[in-house]
Amino acid sequence: MEQSLLSYAFSLFLSLLFCMITYVFFDLCLRAKVLLAKLQNQGIDGPKPGLILGNITEMQKIKSIKLASDPSVFSLKEPPSLDCSSVLFPHFIQWSKQYGKTFTFALGKKDRGPLLGKGLITTNREVWSHQRKTIAHNLFVDKVKDMLSIVLESGSKLIKSLENVVKDTGKVAEIKVDDYARDFTCHVISTIMFGENYPTNTGLFSKCRALILASGSPTILNGRPFYRFLPTKQNKEQWRLEKEIYSIIMETTRKCTMGGVGEGMIHTLVDGANLGELGPSTPQQFIVDNCKDLYLAAFEVTGIASIWGLMLLAAHPDWQARARAEILELCGKEMPDAEKLSKMKVLKMIIQEVLRLYPGVAFVSREALADVQIGKLCVPKGVNIWIWLLALHRDTQLWGPDADKFNPKRFANGISAACKSPQAYVPFGVGPRICPGMSLAMLEMKVMFAVMLANFSFSLSPNYRHVPNFGLLLEPKYGVQLLVRKL
């Protein structure tokens, strides 16, 4: 009997192993070769991919050589050098020179399952359409205008927090602004999601932040098939955080929707989970995954963009002074209202320039779900098209010789006049999948910068190290330290 069970288990193991090998062979070998051949026949070429890891090994090798040849790649002078592509993505620069601006490359089987799940960011077709309709109507411009009071309340909390720090240290305080910017965006999205009485001691945001860092940790093994199922230290940490975040979101949802009445976008997600196409997700997973996606966009992406904006304002006192003069003329030391915010032209130009130089994401990718004709190019089904925003937003042929410089004046006459092609400015994505929270993100950045500039002047601390880092998002590796003075 025991021998029979062992024989059965061994047969099952061999069957599973055969299935895995077959999957890897057909999915990674034959399918990839067919797609690559179709692109090469149209004159699009690139580095030869490896069988399992694609071009990941070569990418890491090129980056290591770059760092070894020039360890002082980031300038620490004021204002800091804004060209980070040559260090973070030297492989793309090398390949674009070798194969042209359009080239092929492969990344193996990268997976962000624990972080993004099956929410709005990753789904397609009917499931995506249902999620988009569920979420987007809460973030239309007219709805965002009604959120101004929430954003202003967050701005008031930010000012009080910074005032206390400056008061405790004297006239000038060295402050690492990262956590303050994230606290600002955290309060906004939490109130919008769960209402004014949302639980503040759940640890949700710290765990989401930890999951983002864990998911963005670079490792050569990330491209291996089935790697995310192995009990590695990194995977076990992601699984633990995923379970804890799931429990927190569902418990918070239960408390905030008790009795079927209340406020907050969570009610819309609950309704969406019970109606419409969910695909493979359960109603609970629908709620959790879309909550995580909203947190990633509204908390982390907007927070990082604001941190970069404060760094650039600190590094360019002339633009800081121009924006402050505009704000004080319109509002004095009072909180701005919607009408006054709409009149802040200089501030809008600054935000547009911040998002050009440091967009929320470094790449926009789209998978062809069917054969697609783009001009003379036929993109085969299954190919992912990557738009490299850092290169697109800094292309001197589109933006002029100062493309790597901070110059908000380029937006004085709008986006259409700022570059040769308005389609070259896509900080929030492009097409039907453009970020639904774009208006909210712009409002948050306007309010944060307006209240900061009206109450403080700031410059870069000598301790600031300008080292952009790319994990999942492009953020300052060591944070942004500013010397903050109360006005």
**CA angle at residue 421 from 381 to 392, to 5 degrees?**
60
CA distance 154 to 176: 18
Residue 165 structure tokens: 């720090």
pTM beyond 0.85, yes or no: yes
pLDDT score for 242 = 87
Residue 19: φ, ψ to 5°: -65, -40
pLDDT score for 81 = 64
CA distance 485 to 178: 17
331 is known to lie in a ligand binding site: no
Q: Tell me whether residue 258 is exposed, middle or buried, using C-beta atoms within 10 angstroms of its C-beta: 0 to 12, 13 to 18, 19 or more.
A: exposed
Residue with tokens 């987007």: 136
Q: State the amino acid at position 29 in one-letter form.
A: C
Give the chain's residues under pLDDT 70.
1-29, 70-82, 108-116, 199-201, 216-230, 259-262
**Is there a cis peptide before residue 476, judged by omega within 30 degrees of 0?**
no
CB 315 within 8 A of CB 406: yes
pLDDT score for 208 = 83
Backbone φ/ψ region at 145: left (φ over 0), alpha (ψ -120 to 50), beta: alpha
Half-sphere exposure of 84 (CA within 13 A, CB side): 21
pLDDT score for 19 = 64
